[in-house]
Every structure is written in structure tokens, then in C-alpha cells.
Amino acid sequence: MADYQLIIVGGGPTGLTAGLYAARARLKTVLLEKGVPGGQVMNTDWIDNYPGFPEGISGFDLAEKMAAQAARFDLETRSGVEVVSMDLTGAEKKIVMADGTSLTSQAVIVATGARPNKLNVPGEVELAGKGVSYCATCDGPFYRDQEIAVVGGGNTAIQEAVYLTRFASKVTVIHRRDELRATKIVQEQAFANDKIEFAWNSQVSSIEGSQGVESVRLLHKDGEESTLPVHGVFILIGTIPNNEMLPNGQFEMADGFIKTDLEMRTSLPGVMAAGDIINKNVRQVVNGAGEGAVAAMSAEHYLAGQS
């Protein structure tokens, strides 16, 4: 017999919501989280677009409340458990962890999410934590009255650039195009802020500094190069899927993301996927949570059909 009816891999908002629904459905469930529950939302200073919090809520508080809500219904959660491989083809699914042990279940929800993309330029790895950052809310206060750069033009980049002006004396947004992708209200806030400047049509070619970041080297669209002196550079250029532990060729993928139907079912029976790991356009906390609920209900239907 399998160890569990359902294993949820990943403890961000999607996995926690799936866990909430599974626990309330009284499925014998375990949620495996490689770090601590919360996911990427913990890196967000303030969430203004998750309904039910009219004043907004900090990313950390939202994650903590989601974890507490699942715990209230006795969801079993294991933190610090990294899943390294999976075999999902049979009726009994096998999940292998970094310590070499494994767990089995009848159904699996893959909610492994995504992580910040890297620029992959010289200096980025060497100066990580020493001026190179992927989390404005974690590291912003280290740059009081200093000049910094934000790389990116999407919602996260622009929202965090505005946040960083609370500390920094100047924030230069480096963007490869001549217009932003961020939502209009976020753009308006950035354009209205005197501390924010824009380096349009520009890419970072390297990050320079010995003990810490001292400058970034920019390559402009017209072929010109320049140096921007900054103490910190926040790289907020989208995400890449956490797919390294997924089994090769067992279900349909697209560009590294898992393909699902509207019920969050993958091409494999008993395997659901939800949140930032699936192939979709909108990557918000609210739809990640919604997909988690749908995935749990699909798991429940699948399990009912098995017994």
C-alpha cells in the first residue's frame, strides 16, 4: 500500500492551498517543501492584488496565514525536504528525496513553482549577496542613501524599484526595451517618483567590484557602452521553472513548464500540476492558489475512482 493518498511537492501559495483542500477532504496527504513553506511570495514586500485584504498584506504574512490555515485542518507538512526525483508512471507514484529515502502515494500534485531568473553575466555569481540581489524586501534596507540599479521591466521589477526608493537615494531601472511591461498603475507610480531614472534599451554586460558591487557595465542598443556606478543591483527579470526533479518524458511539457488541462491534470493519470510550474501566462498568487484548489479536487476525484 502507498504511504499516502496524495503527495504535494512544493509549499508556496499553490501547494498550501492544495494542502488546505486536501486536508479538508480528509485525504491522507503530505506536503513536501525544500526550504520553509511560503514560496516566492515571501520575497514580496507588499501584496495589493490578493483579494480579501483591502489594505494589502505583506508577502510574509500572507504566506504565514496560508500555512496556518492548512495546519488548522491538520495538513502534514515536512519542511527542509528536497525532492530530487519522481517516478509517476505507475498506479503507485514514487517521490525520492535528497537523503535517499522515498515516499509513495496514489496521486501527486506538482507545485514546485519557479525561482528568479539570473542574468548570467560575469560578476553575478561572485558578488551574489555582496550587492547582487534577487529580493528587494530582504536587502533593500542595506542601501540607505546609496545609488542602486534594478534590472527588468515587468511588474516585480517596477514595483520593487518603487519600494527601493524608500532607502536608496537613486534607483536606475535598466531595461532592454523602450517601454515597460508592468501594469499601468505600477508604471504610473514609477514615472511619478523623482528618485527613479531609466536606462532604456540597455542590457547589463557585467557586474564589477572587488569586495562588493561597485558598478555595472551597460551595453546600449546603439552599440555604445557605459558604466553605471552603483552599490547594489537587483535582478528582477522573471522566473524559471523548478523542474530539475521532474521525470523526463513522463508527461507533456512546454518550454520547461508542465502542460495541464483546465482541471490541472497532466497527461499522466493521478498527477496534477499547478502554480508557477505550469505552462500559462499569468503568474500571480491569486491564480496559483486557485489552481491549487482545483488540483486538490481533481486528486480527490481521481482517488475516488481508484477505490
Partner 1 sequence: MAGDNLKHLTDSDFDATIASDTPCLLDFWAPWCGPCKAIGPVVEELANEYAGKAVIAKMNVDDNPATPGKFNVRAIPTLILFKNGEVVDQVTGAVGKPQLIAMLDKAL
* Catalytic residue positions, numbered: 135, 138-139
Q: Which stretch binds partner 1 (CB under 8 A): 127-135, 188-196, 197-205, 244-252?
A: 127-135
By CB under 8 A, tell whether 141 contacts partner 1: yes
Query: Residues touching partner 1: how many (CB under 8 A)?
Result: 33
DSSP string, the chain: --SEEEEEE--SHHHHHHHHHHHHTT--EEEE-SSSTTGGGGG-SEESSSTT-TT-EEHHHHHHHHHHHHHHTT-EEE-S--EEEEE-SSSSEEEEETTS-EEEEEEEEE---EEEPP---TTTTTTBTTTEES-HHHHGGGGTT-EEEEE--SHHHHHHHHHHTTT-SEEEEE-SSSS--S-HHHHHHHHT-TTEEEETTEEEEEEE-SSS--EEEEEETTS-EEEEE-SEEEE---EEE--TTSPTTSS-EETTEE---TT-B-SSTTEEE-GGGBS-S---HHHHHHHHHHHHHHHHHHHHHH-
Identify which range of 37-45, 260-268, 270-278, 298-306 contacts partner 1 by CB under 8 A: 37-45
Binders of partner 1 among residues 186 to 225 (CB under 8 A) are 211-212
Q: Is 131 near partner 1 (CB under 8 A)?
A: yes
Nearest residue (CB) to partner 1, 38 versus 241: 38
Name the one range near partner 1 by CB under 8 A: 13-21, 60-68, 85-93, 153-161: 60-68
Is 34 a residue that touches partner 1 (CB under 8 A)? Answer: yes
129 binds partner 1 (CB under 8 A): yes
Enumerate binding residues for partner 1 (CB under 8 A): 34-38, 42-43, 58-60, 63-64, 79-82, 98-99, 128-131, 133, 135, 137-139, 141-143, 211-212, 232
